[in-house]
Amino acid sequence: MDITAASALVTGGASGLGLATARRLAARGARVVIVDLPRSA
């Protein structure tokens, strides 16, 4: 699947599965926006 023209919003992207997902999408050419909240929130 070609995702070079896609945009992705990844929640929980500071660590774990969210971070891995964001990295994979970016490596495949997608524009990625990462959203995460501090643990104290």
**Is 90 exceeded by the pLDDT of residue 35?**
yes
For residue 41, the model assigns a pLDDT of 65
Q: How confident is the model at residue 39 (pLDDT cuts 50, 70, 90)?
A: confident
The domain containing residue 3 runs over which residues?
1-41
What the block records as the tokens of 37 is 């909240």
Per-residue model confidence as pLDDT tens digits over 1-28: 899 999 999 999 999 999 999 999 999 9
Q: What is the DSSP string of 1-41?
A: ---TT-EEEEETTTSHHHHHHHHHHHHTT-EEEEE---TT-
> What pTM value is reported for the model?
0.83
For residue 1, the model assigns a pLDDT of 86
For residue 36, the model assigns a pLDDT of 94
Domain count, the chain: 1
